[in-house]
C-alpha cells in the first residue's frame, strides 16, 4: 500500500512539476476563489449578526428586560426595585422607563413613533444612545419641555430622502406638538437629534420620565426596566438569579426580545448563503472533474501503457488523487491569502449596512467546514474521472 | 519456457465475428529470439498480446515458466506483467513528464525496490542500451531511436522472463532500426534474454533465431535461422 502510494506520489509530482502550468495555475486560482466564496459571505452574515446583536444590547434592550406581570400595565415601586437590582452582583446598570406611542406634529407633518420616557442618567448606564447625539444635546435628568428625536424621525426637507414618515427635516430648537394616548397635547422644544444607526433609536422619540409622569399623573412606575450586566452571554443565569431574589415580573433576555427580527434577517441571509455555497462547490467539483477528466482522456494511451508494463490501476488513480489534493491544498492556501487581503481591505473600508459598518467575522469552524467540504469535493472530482478512464481495457486504451 | 496451446481469439459479437487467432499452438524456449511475421490481420500482434497478458484467449491456454496465466485475476496479471514480462511498443510509449532515468526507474519502484537499488539498476541498464549520458533528458528531448532504447531499458529493468516487442522499429529509420535490432541481438546473446518480436520487415529476419510466419490467424510456417541469418537446415 505504501509502495503504491509512493509510486503514485512520484507520478503526480512529476506531472505537476513538468505538466501544463497554465491549466494548473488557472485551476488552483478557481479553487482559491471558491474557497474565498465559501468563507466570505458567511463571515459577512456572522458580522451582520454580531452587529445587530451588539446594537440590540447597546441601543434597545441592555442584557435583560423586565416587564409587568401578566394583566398588569405597570411595574410599581420601581425605585425600590431599581435599588434591589443594583445591589445584585454582576449588574452594572438599571434603567426604568415607559414605552408608549404618541403623535408628533410639525408643520403639518404627522408621525406616530414609539416614545420612550427615560431617566437620562440611568438610561446611560444601560444604553449608549446618549453618546450618539449628532446635533444639539441629550436629555438631562431634570429636563421638562424637551424632546430628543431620532434622525430618521426628524427627517429631511426633501421627503424623497426619507426612509420612514418623518417630520420633514425638523431641527434642534424647533417646537413640535406631541399628543399622548390619553389625549393630552403638549409642545416640546427639540433638544437633540440622535444618529445611532440603530433603526429602533433613529426612528423614535425620547422625553424624560419626569415629563411623562407629569402628563399621565403617574409616580414611581415604569412599564419596562432595562438591566445591563457585566458579562454578555450569561443572561439566562442572571435571569435565574433575579428569580431567586424574588422578582415576579416577566424577565426577557435581549436574545428573546430581538429574536424574531434577527432570525428573519439571518434566516434570509442563510438561504442566500446556502445557494452560494452549493454553487461554489458545484463549480469546484466541475472544474477539477473537467481538468482531471481531460487530463486522463488525453493520456488514455499512456494510462494503457502504464497498465501494460505492470503499473496497477490503483496507482494511476491515486496519482490523480494526489494531483487533485495538490490543487485543493494550494487553492486553499491561495484562498486564505485572498481572504486575508479582503479582510484587511474591509478593515480599512468597511461595508456599511443600515445598522452600521460590518466587519466580517471569520469563524474557525467555518474555515474547517469549508476546507473539509472542498477537500471531499476535490477527492471525488479527482477520483471519478481517473476511475472511469483507468477502467478501460488495456488494448482499447493503447490503440486510442 | 512459454507454451501456447490451441489459442483462439474471436473478436466481435453476434453475426460478425473475426477469428484473429484460430487454434495456434506454439512453444518458445528460454533464450530464444523469435520473430513473428506476417501480413496485416494475420494475428501476429494478437498472439503477442496473449503472451504479454494484455488480452485473454477466447479458448486455449498459455503457460509461462509453468504458470497457467489464464487462471490469474486482473491484479495478479498486472503483477505478472510487472515482474516477469517486459514490453516494448511501436511508439516508445514513455511518460512525457519523466526523464529517461525516471521512466526506467518506474517499474523497479513499483516492485518496491529501494531508491538506491533503482538508481543502480537504471544506470546499468541505460548504459547497456547506450544512453548512459542521456539519463536526465525528457522524452521530448530525445530522438525516436533514443526513446525506443529507453523503452527497451524500461522493459528490461526488472530482468523479465520474456521480452515482447511489438514492431519496435516501425517508427524508426533504418539506421535507428539497426541500432535497436543489434541491441536486441546483444541482449539475447549476452544475457540469454528470451525475446519475441513482431515485425513485417524482411531484412529483420536475419536477427531472429526462429521465425513464426502467420496468416489468417494460423501459423503458416516456422523457420529456424542459423548464425548469420540464413535459414538453418532442417534437423
Q: State which H helix or E strand residue A264 sits in.
A: helix A254-298
User: Is the CB of residue A142 less than 8 Å from the CB of residue A211?
Assistant: no
User: Is the CB of residue A315 less than 8 Å from the CB of residue A11?
Assistant: yes
Q: What are phi and psi of A70, to 5 degrees?
A: -60, 140
Q: What distance in Å separates residue A382's CA from the closest CA in chain B? A: 19
Residue B232 clears pLDDT 90, i.e. is over it: no
Do the chains contact at A6 and B109, CB–CB below 8 Å?
A: yes
CA–CA gap between residue B15 and residue B22 (Å, rounded): 17
- Interface check for B162 against chain A (CB to CB < 8 A): the answer is no
Which of A30-44, A57-71, A125-139, A344-358 shows the lowest mean pLDDT across its residues? Answer: A344-358
Domain parsing of chain A, residue ranges: 2-56+261-399, 64-231
Q: What are phi and psi of A348, to 5 degrees?
A: -80, -35
For cell 489464464, the residue is B70
* pTM confidence score: 0.78
**pLDDT at site A195:** 94
- Describe chain B by its helix, strand, coil percentages, rounded to 5: 35, 25, 35
What number is the average pLDDT over the span A100-115? Answer: 94
Q: Which three cell numbers stand for residue A279?
A: 454553487
What number is the average pLDDT over the span B139-167? Answer: 90
What number is the average pLDDT over the span B46-62? Answer: 93
Residue A226 clears pLDDT 80, i.e. is over it: yes
Contacts of A305 in chain B (CB under 8 A): 89, 93
Label residue A90 by pLDDT band (50, 70, 90): very high
Which of A263-277, B60-74, B77-91 shows the lowest mean pLDDT across its residues? Answer: A263-277
Each residue of A282-314: pLDDT tens digit? Answer: 888 888 888 888 888 888 888 898 999 999 999
Q: How many domains does chain B have?
A: 1
CA–CA gap between residue A283 and residue A374 (Å, rounded): 11
Three-state DSSP state, B42: coil
Phi-psi region of A105 (alpha: psi -120 to 50; beta: other; left: phi over 0): beta
Mutate: best of A309, A313, A320, A398, partner B, most B CBs <10 A: A309
Mutate: best of B45, B97, B107, B141, partner A, most A CBs <10 A: B97
Helix ranges, chain B (H): 44-51, 74-84, 100-111, 115-128, 144-156, 174-191
User: Is the CB of residue A24 less than 8 Å from the CB of residue A15?
Assistant: no
Q: What is the dihedral of CA A217, A77, A87, A143, to 10 degrees?
A: 0
Label residue B122 by pLDDT band (50, 70, 90): confident
| Residue B33's CATH number | 3.40.50.300
| Residue ranges making up the domain that contains B76 | 2-93+160-224
Residue B234 clears pLDDT 80, i.e. is over it: no
Strand duo B194-199 + B162-166: pairing: parallel
Q: Is residue B208 part of a domain?
A: yes
Residue B13 clears pLDDT 70, i.e. is over it: no
Each residue of A329-360: pLDDT tens digit? Answer: 999 999 999 999 998 998 888 888 877 788 88
Do the chains contact at A7 and B95, CB–CB below 8 Å?
A: no
- Interface check for B97 against chain A (CB to CB < 8 A): the answer is yes
Residue A62 clears pLDDT 90, i.e. is over it: yes
- Interface check for B119 against chain A (CB to CB < 8 A): the answer is no
Strand duo A75-76 + A64-67: pairing: unpaired
Strand partners, A147: A190
63-82 in chain B: CB under 8 A from chain A: 75, 78-82
DSSP A330-399: HHHHHHHHHHHHHHHHHHHS-EEETTEEE-----HHHHHHHHHHHHHHHHHHHHHHHHHHHTS-HHHHHH
Label residue A43 by pLDDT band (50, 70, 90): confident
**pLDDT at site A23:** 86
Amino acid at each position: 500500500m505504501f509502495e503504491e502510494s509512493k509510486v503514485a506520489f512520484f507520478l503526480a509530482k512529476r506531472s505537476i512539476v513538468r505538466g501544463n502550468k497554465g491549466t494548473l495555475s488557472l485551476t488552483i486560482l478557481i479553487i482559491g476563489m471558491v474557497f474565498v466564496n465559501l468563507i466570505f459571505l458567511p463571515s459577512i452574515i456572522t458580522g451582520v449578526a454580531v452587529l445587530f446583536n451588539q446594537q440590540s444590547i447597546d441601543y434597545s434592550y441592555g442584557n435583560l428586560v423586565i416587564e409587568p406581570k401578566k394583566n398588569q400595565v405597570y411595574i410599581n415601586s420601581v425605585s425600590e426595585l431599581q435599588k434591589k437590582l443594583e445591589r445584585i452582583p454582576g449588574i452594572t446598570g438599571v434603567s426604568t422607563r415607559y414605552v408608549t406611542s404618541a403623535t408628533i406634529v410639525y408643520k403639518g407633518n404627522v408621525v406616530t413613533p414609539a416614545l420612550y420616557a427615560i431617566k437620562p442618567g440611568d438610561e446611560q448606564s444601560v444604553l449608549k444612545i446618549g453618546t450618539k447625539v449628532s446635533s444639539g444635546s441629550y436629555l438631562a435628568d431634570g429636563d421638562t419641555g424637551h424632546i430628543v428625536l431620532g434622525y430618521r424621525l426628524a427627517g429631511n426637507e426633501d421627503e424623497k430622502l426619507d426612509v420612514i414618515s418623518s417630520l420633514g427635516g425638523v431641527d434642534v430648537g424647533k417646537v413640535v406638538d406631541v399628543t399622548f394616548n390619553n389625549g393630552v397635547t403638549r409642545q416640546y422644544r427639540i433638544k437633540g437629534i440622535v444618529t445611532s444607526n440603530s433603526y429602533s433609536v433613529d426612528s423614535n422619540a425620547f422625553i424624560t420620565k419626569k415629563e411623562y409622569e407629569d402628563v399621565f399623573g403617574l409616580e414611581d412606575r415604569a412599564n419596562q426596566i432595562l438591566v445591563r450586566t457585566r458579562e454578555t452571554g450569561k443572561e439566562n443565569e442572571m435571569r435565574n438569579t433575579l428569580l431567586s431574589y424574588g422578582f415576579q415580573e416577566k424577565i426577557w433576555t435581549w436574545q428573546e426580545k430581538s429574536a424574531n427580527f434577527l432570525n428573519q434577517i439571518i434566516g434570509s441571509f442563510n438561504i442566500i448563503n446556502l445557494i452560494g455555497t452549493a454553487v461554489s462547490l458545484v463549480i469546484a467539483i466541475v472544474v477539477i472533474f473537467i481538468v482531471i477528466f481531460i487530463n486522463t482522456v488525453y493520456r488514455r494511451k499512456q494510462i494503457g501503457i502504464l497498465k501494460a508494463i505492470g503499473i496497477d490501476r490503483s496507482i494511476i488513480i491515486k496519482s490523480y488523487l494526489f494531483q487533485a489534493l495538490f490543487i485543493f491544498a494550494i487553492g486553499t492556501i491561495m484562498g486564505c491569502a485572498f481572504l486575508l487581503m479582503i479582510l484587511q481591505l474591509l478593515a480599512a473600508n468597511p461595508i456599511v449596512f443600515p445598522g452600521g459598518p460590518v466587519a466580517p467575522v471569520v469563524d474557525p469552524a467555518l474555515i474547517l467546514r469549508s476546507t473539509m467540504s472542498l477537500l471531499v469535493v476535490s477527492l471525488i472530482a479527482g477520483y471519478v474521472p481517473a476511475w472511469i478512464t483507468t477502467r478501460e481495457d488495456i488494448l482499447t486504451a493503447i490503440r486510442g | 519456457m512459454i507454451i501456447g496451446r490451441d489459442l483462439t481469439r474471436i473478436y466481435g459479437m453476434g453475426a460478425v465475428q473475426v477469428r484473429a487467432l484460430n487454434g495456434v499452438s506454439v512453444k518458445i524456449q528460454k533464450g530464444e529470439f523469435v520473430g513473428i511475421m506476417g501480413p496485416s490481420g494475420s494475428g501476429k500482434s494478437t498472439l503477442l498480446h496473449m503472451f504479454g497478458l494484455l488480452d485473454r484467449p477466447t479458448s486455449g491456454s498459455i503457460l509461462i515458466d509453468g504458470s497457467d496465466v489464464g487462471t490469474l485475476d486482473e491484479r495478479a496479471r498486472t503483477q505478472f506483467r510487472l515482474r516477469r514480462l517486459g514490453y516494448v511498443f511501436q511508439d516508445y510509449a514513455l511518460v512525457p513528464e519523466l526523464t529517461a532515468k525516471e521512466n526506467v526507474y518506474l517499474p523497479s519502484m513499483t516492485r518496491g525496490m529501494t531508491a538506491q537499488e533503482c538508481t543502480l539498476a537504471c544506470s546499468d541498464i541505460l548504459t547497456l542500451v547506450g544512453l548512459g549520458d542521456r539519463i536526465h533528458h525528457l522524452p521530448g528531448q530525445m530522438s525516436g531511436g533514443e526513446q525506443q532504447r529507453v523503452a527497451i531499458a524500461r522493459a528490461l529493468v526488472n530482468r523479465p522472463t520474456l521480452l515482447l516487442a511489438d514492431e519496435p522499429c516501425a517508427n524508426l529509420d533504418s539506421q535507428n532500426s539497426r541500432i535497436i535490432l543489434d541491441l536486441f541481438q546483444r541482449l539475447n546473446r549476452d544475457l540469454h534474454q528470451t525475446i519475441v518480436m513482431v515485425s513485417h520487415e524482411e531484412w529483420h529476419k536475419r536477427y531472429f533465431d526462429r521465425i513464426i510466419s502467420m496468416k489468417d490467424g494460423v501459423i503458416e510456417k516456422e523457420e529456424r535461422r542459423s548464425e548469420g541469418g540464413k535459414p538453418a537446415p532442417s534437423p
